[in-house]
Every structure is written in structure tokens, then in C-alpha cells.
Amino acid sequence: MSEMKTAAYICQGCGIGERLSAKQMAVVAQKEGKMQLVREHAFLCSAEGVQMIRDDIEKEAVTHIMIAACSRRAKTEAFNFPDVTMTRANIREGVIWSQPEGDAAQEIMQEMADDYVRMGCAEIKKMKLPQGTPDKAQNKRILVVGGGISGLTAALESAEAGYEVLIVEKQKALGGWAARLWKRVPAKSPYTDPIDTGIVDLIASVTQHPRIKVYLNATIAQTSGAPGRFLVHIATENGAAATEEVGAIVQASGFTNYDINKLPELGGGKSQNVVDQAGLEQLAIEAARQGQPVRRPSDGGEVSSVAFIQCAGQRDESGKHLPYCSGHCCNTSIKQAMYFKDSNPGIDTVVIYTDLRTPGMGEDFYRSGQNRGVTFTKGMVSEVAAHGNSCTVKFKDIILNEDSSIEADLVVLATGQVPNSGVNIDLAEDAQAEAKPVSILNLTYRQGKDLPQLKHGLTDSHFICFPYETRRTGIYAAGPVRRPMDIAQATEDATGAALKAIQAVENASLGRAAHPRSGDLSFPIVRLEGCTQCKRCTVECPFGAIDEDEKRYPVFNESRCRRCGTCMGACPVRVISFENYSPDSIGNQIKAVDMPDEFSEKPRILVLACENDAYPALDMAGMQRKVYSAFVRVIPVRCLGSVNTVWITDALNGGWDGVMMMGCKHGDDYQCHFIKGSELANYRMGKIDDTLKQLGLETERVTTCAVAITDSARVAQLINDYAAKIQEIGMSPMKGFA
């Protein structure tokens, strides 16, 4: 790259010029910030203001610009200069909108603005224009693991969008569970009758598709590589092996039915006349094949009454069975009760439930079942006793508040879906050996063979904001492996996953980040000479992007990376950085502020705010004119996970009175965009207490808090409360040493 030429632009619009001295900011930029070119403008985002900057880029060969105006989240279209490095000082939302009017506040407000200019100038000199990762890989083929309804849908959707697809199915035929159903719950108006599954047609469209190749009786023996260049070893039953290169993977490995034999109290495994829902489908298909009504399995006798027991081994609080609801089973039982009612309305069908949950248009379907005379009874089943060719179902009727029982020829247990998610890589190895799970993907990733799980064996994804994402870039879970679901939901899920896979291969081919920093061209760069092989980055990367070479040095797979900076935050020797985001780019800002002395009564509080949630919340606080302490200086960070403890120690050594870190909620219902970032930050900060004590500082001088994007009012309060606390503790004794 050519010589660096810096320029600072100070906007006077939106009231900045009236409430602050732009002149002074310009002087600060020139004298302290050492900017080579400094310009003020009355209205910087106007066509004229933007043109001024453009002219400087062209004629003055400016390469690095610092804009002191509104928040970096505002006016992004006007201030869009892709060919230069840019940073922005937040004078509007961050200063004039969050500070009260009036002379009393004037001095400290101007100091705030001047500091933001200093920080911007310090940062820009440590930034470079991101060039995109050299790890650009061009394979755009999509591998779909699993040939059930989810896999087939994902395959067909990707193929129809023009991509080559490969399906690997373990069984000898495509279709999965859907092929083992007699009929499915309706997906179209009027939602009253069971309908054909449509699986035969779907299989036909997939097998006839010119862009889809199918491997049957096959499993994945090994997956290595990264988006755009995954290398997959496929093992087939007859011993033949194949190696294929693909760009992205959709894992639609589906579910297994919860083992009915684990429910002996409900007659599971005790009588042929007690079946699970899959068992009933089998009976229905068999009966339809013979052109007969469903017969009692034990003796082939006529069925005159059927009991359906909902939530069998599900929503279990004892810890013995599945704790969750599988979502589809109420509708499925209604459908199955209709099988009987439609063959003979005289057959009594009773559905015993505690809560009937009928997602989608299931309410219409439920009514249709009632209309056919299916009896619905709110009750808790305690026992199913089989005797001869009949079963007694003992239950407590919750409405009539009495113990009751019914006789049935056939009992159907609505057991749940257990995801086929492979190895739980977070479990200790001996626990894994005990569970003997079979890996689905056999990834060669340092962090483990399969997709990380959140709980109950379901793959981890950001449930609220980006459900299709997993913690392995370029690999997307679809269908019941992600969460329990029915056919309609699986179809939708698979379509979403197919789109994600397409995005992944396209981004990988351009060397850009995938979600949530979609399009980002920066990537982690490691200075291996300084690396101490501590492995923190390889262990902590939430996305398993970093492997290890034979000498145990980290190997970054940039296209697996989401650019969260967690590795940068983890690295104790600070050898990991991004071109435009690094230990120095932030460290320099921390050091750049003008630190008032101990007796000034002007404390300085550093706020490191997650740019996904906390920073927008702060901007919104400004928009709503929520006033917060003028002693804070806010620095946006990619994720709290990217915060390196060196910044904290630098700040404390430099005389800052307090450090506040604002990130997303962590834990089981985390909100962190990078899943583990805020959790890791909390963990790391838990250890900073020792450092504080060594420095002879109060532990309150560093604090972390969870802030959601909606917390605009709360965030101002949090700051003010913390400022009050700092006031109470008193000024830092470290001032003036650095």
C-alpha cells in the first residue's frame, strides 16, 4: 500500500456547531491528533460535504479519514468510501444528544467531544484497509447429509437455485420418516383431513434432477476444510469409498424416536397392542396395503377403541425422559385418530393430553378431529396395564378431578423426537465413550467431530436472531436435528438452510465473512513468531475456525471465521489482529484521551460496548435524549469476546477510574451474536480481580453488564449508577504515572 495520508473532517451540522466549538475539535485533530488535513463543514453529509471528502481522496491522495459527526451507525450511505480506511467519532448521538444543554455542562461536554476526536485520530493511524482473506475457495457444490424430508427439500431448493448438490443418505432409500407415514397432517386450507405425504413425488424430483447426485447406504467418514473447500470422505456400505469436494454442508440428519421400551409403565415393550406413533403408521400402511381396517397386533382382532397418550416420555420433569415438547405429536395423534374415525366412525378414539398443542393451522385440524367425534380428555396417565388382548389405561381426569380408567384395544404413545446430532463435543471424553454416539460429520476440526450442541442434543444456533446458523461456518443444520418439528416446519427450515448454504459458498468465493458480519473483508491475522502455543485461541473460538499444525501452532481457516475477534481477545501475547481492528487500534484510543489529574473531580470511565446491541442501545439513548454522565468515553467493540485484558490493564494503569463492559446476555438463553463472546468476557474478567488487587485498586473499578438492543433507557441509567459508584470510591490513584 502507498503512503498513509490522514484527514479529519469535523461536521457542524445537526446542532454540533451550535453546542460545541468545532474550531476547537479541529485544533485538537491537528495538534494532538496530528492529522495531515483537517476540515470543518457546516453539513458534512450533504452532497457538497461528501464531494469535498471525495475530492480530497482523489486530489490529495488521502488514505485514512476520521469523521467527527454522527454515530458510525448513521449516514452510512453518505459516508461510504470503500477505497479508504475510515473511522468515525460519535459527536452527535454520543455527545450533544446525550448531554444536557446549558453553560454548566458546557466545559465537560466539550472535553468529551475533544476526547472522541483524539480517540478517532489515534485509532485511524492504526487501521488498514481490509483486503479480504486469501482463503478464497471456489467450490460451490452443496452437500446434504440426510435424505429425509428436510434433506430432500434442501437439496431440491439448492439445485433449483442452480447449485450442484450431493446427498448422502445412510439408509438404502431416500424418504426418511416421511416415507414411513401413511398420511401427513394437512398443509393447505381447509386443514381438515390427513393428506398424502407427497414424498414419492419429492423423491422422484430429486432423483431425476440433473444437478443432484445421491449416495445411498452411505455415511460421512471424514470432513475437513472450510467453506468453499470442504473435503468429504464418503463411506458406503459395500466398502467403496469416495472423496468429494463441496462448498457448504446442510446437515439434515433428522431424529430417532424416543425408545418406547423406556416407558414400561405406559406399557412400552410390554404388549404388542401398545405402539408409538411410528408403529401406528406402520400398522396403517400395512392395513391400507391389505385394504382392511387396522387390526389389533396381538391377535388380529377388530379394533373398537383406541387411546392416544400424549407427551409419553416428554415434557418430563423427573429427569428420566425428554424434558421438551416435540411439537408435532398432538397434531399427529389427531391425524391418527382420524385414520380410525374415517374407516369406521363407531370406533372410539380418546386422546389423553395435559395441554393440547397444535402449532400452525393445527387448531382447525383439532376442531376437525372433534367434529369427527374424537374424544379429547385432559388427564395424566399413570399406567397402562396390558391384559390379554386389551389394555387398561389408568389416568387422572384433570377436569373432573378424579382417578379414572378406560379400556382400549390399542394404545398409541406419543413419544418424542431425539435429534441425530452425533457427538456432543463439549462432553468429557469418558462420558462420550459411555454414550457411544456415532458422529455424523466426522469433522477433523480441532474442537471436535460434530456441530456443537446447546442442550438436549439439539445443535446450537442463535434461536432468536439467526436460527439457521450453527457454530460451524458453512455447515447448516435443518429439520429436527436443530429442534423438534413437523413436516411443514422442516420444509421451511430446509429451505432456509439451503439459502444459508448458498450465501456461504458465495461469500467464501469472495473471501468475505458470513453472518453476522456478512461481507466483512477483514480477517484475523496472526504473527506466529510471537505465538507461545498457549492454544487459547484454538480452544475459545466459538466457531471452531482454528486448527493446529504438527508443531501446535494455530492454523486459521479464514472462511470458517466469523470475524468476532474472540481469538484476539484471548491471545495473551496479542499476536492476533485484524487490519482494521486490533489490540493497538483500541489500545491507542485508550491512551489518547486527555486524562485530568486526581484533584480535578473529573473521573474518566471507559465503556467498551458491543457494537451489536449495547452500542445501538447507547445511540438510541442519545436519540431519546437520555442524559448520561459526561465522564464516560465509549469505544465500540466487535464483541465483548474480542476485549483483550491488556486494554483493561492499560486503562487502569493510564489512570482511568473505571471500566464498564457492555455485552449481550450469556448463558443458556444467550443473546450474544457470537454465542460465546460475552460469556468468555465474563469469565476472563472474573480473573481480573487479582490484577486489580495487585495494582492496589478496588475490584469495582471493572464491571461487566448485559445490555440488550432495546435497553436504551436502562443503558443511561446503568452508566449513571456506575458513575455514582466511581464517585463514591473516589478517583484512581494511578493518574499521572503512565
Partner 1 sequence: MNELNIKYHNNFLKEVEENIEEGEWIKMCMQCGVCSGSCPLGPYWAHPPQELFMMIRAGKREQVLRSDSMWMCTSCYNCVVRCPRKLPITQIMHGIAAYANNLGMAPKIQPTRDFSILFWKNCTRTGRVNELRLTLGLYFNDGLVAGIKKGWAMRNIGLGLMRAGRLNLFELFKGHECKDQKGIHAMLKKAAEIEQRHKHLTA
- Which residues here bind ligand SF4, judged by CB under 6 A? 524, 541, 543, 545-546, 556, 561-567
Decide which of partner 1, ligand SF4, none touches 130; Cβ closer than 5 to 8 Å per partner kind.
Answer: none
| Complex with partner 1: residue 343 or 649, whichever CB lies closer | 343
Q: Shortest gap between Cβ of 351 and ligand SF4 (angstroms)?
A: 16
Least distance in angstroms from the C-beta of 338 to ligand SF4: 21
Nearer to partner 1, 197 or 390 (CB): 390
- Judged by beta carbon, residue 79 or residue 340, the one nearer partner 1 is 340
707 binds, among partner 1, ligand SF4, none (CB under 5 to 8 A by kind): none
Query: Distance of alpha carbon 248 from its chain centroid, rounded?
Result: 18
Cell (9 digits) for 375: 374424544
User: How near is the Cβ of 344 to partner 1 at its closest, in Å?
Assistant: 12
**Cβ-based nearer residue to partner 1, 394 or 725:** 394
Give the shortest CB-75-to-partner 1 separation in angstroms.
50
Cα separation, 293 vs 290, whole angstroms: 9
Nearest approach, Cβ of residue 399 and partner 1 (Å): 4
Q: Are 287 and 321 in contact (CB under 8 A)?
A: no
Nearer to ligand SF4, 566 or 644 (CB): 566
Strand duo 212-215 + 165-168: pairing: parallel
| Cα-based distances in Å from 291 to 36, 262, 287, 294, 713 | 88, 33, 6, 9, 67
Q: Which does 350 bind (CB under 5 to 8 A by kind): ligand SF4, partner 1, none?
A: partner 1
Q: Which does 371 bind (CB under 5 to 8 A by kind): ligand SF4, partner 1, none?
A: partner 1
CA distance 311 to 288: 27
Which of ligand SF4, partner 1, none does 562 bind, CB closer than 5 to 8 A by kind? Answer: ligand SF4
Query: How remote is the C-alpha of 631 from its chain's centroid?
Result: 34
Q: Residue 406 Cβ, how far from partner 1 at the closest point, in Å?
A: 5
Q: Is 228 exposed, middle or buried (0-12, 13-18, 19+ CB in 10 A)?
A: buried
Of 681 and 731, CB closest to ligand SF4: 681
Give least dist CB 370 to partner 1, A. 5
Cβ count within 10 A of residue 207: 12
CB of 376 to partner 1, least distance (A): 7
Strands 605-610 and 85-90: unpaired
Encode burial over 6-17: b for 16+ CB neighbours within 10 A, e otherwise.
bbbbbbbbbebb
- On whether the CB atoms of residues 166 and 206 are closer than 8 A, the answer is no
Phi, psi of 349 (to 5 degrees): -125, 125
Judged by beta carbon distances under 5 to 8 A according to partner kind, the member of ligand SF4, partner 1, none in contact with residue 563 is ligand SF4
Q: For partner 1, which is the closer residue by CB, 370 or 532?
A: 370
For cell 491512551, what's the residue?
A: 591
What distance in Å separates the CA atoms of residue 381 and residue 445, rounded to the nearest whole number?
Answer: 46
Q: Which residues bind partner 1 (CB under 8 A)?
A: 305, 348, 350, 356, 366-367, 370-371, 373, 375-378, 397, 399-400, 404-407
Q: What is the DSSP letter of 457?
A: T
Q: Judged by CB, which is closer to partner 1: 55, or 407?
A: 407
Question: Nearest Cα to 236, choosing from 190, 147, 334, 169?
Answer: 169
Min dist CB 458 to partner 1, Å, is 30
Q: Which one, 349 or 453, has the nearer CB to partner 1?
A: 349
| Residue 394 interacting entry, from partner 1, ligand SF4, none, C-beta within 5 to 8 Å by type | none
373 binds, among partner 1, ligand SF4, none (CB under 5 to 8 A by kind): partner 1
**What secondary structure, in 3-state letters, does 635-666 show?**
EEECCHHHCCHHHHHHHHHCCCCEEEEEECCC
From ligand SF4, partner 1, none, interface partner of 565 (C-beta below 5 to 8 A by class): ligand SF4
